[in-house]
Structure 1
Amino acid sequence: MSSTSDSVSSISYVTMQINRHVALVVLLFGTVGNIVNMIVLTVIYLWSALPTRILEG
C-alpha cells in the first residue's frame, strides 16, 4: 500500500512541476508574440497596404 501512495505522490509532484514550467514557457511565448504583433501592426505603411484591405473585406 505504501508503494501506491509513493507513486501517487511522485506523479503528483511531477505533474505540478511540469505545469509550472510549461505555463512559464507559454506565458513567455505569448508575451513575445504579442509584442511582435504590436510592432508589426503599428508600422504605418501596413495601414494602407493590401493586408488591411483584405481584413476590412
Structure 2
Amino acid sequence: MLQLGFPPNKQFRCDYVSRQVEVKVKYGLWVTKAEKDATLRILTNPPCLKQN
C-alpha cells in the first residue's frame, strides 16, 4: 500500500488526513489520484468513522 507520507501511527491518521483535506480545500490545492484514493481509504475506515 502506498503511504504517501501519512503518519505510521494509525491513531493520528484520521486527524492528520482530515486536517490535510481542510488545508487543501482552504487554499485550493490539488491532490493526485493516488493521494485521493489513500485519503478516501483512510477516512472511510471504521476507526475514522467512529471519531466523526
Higher relative contact order (CA 8 A, sep 6+): 2
TM over 0.5: same fold?
Answer: no
TM range (shorter): 0.3 to 0.5
Name the structure where helix makes up a greater proportion of residues: 1
TM-score w.r.t. the length of structure 2 is 0.35
TM-score w.r.t. the length of structure 1 is 0.33
Of structures 1 and 2, the larger Rg is shown by 1
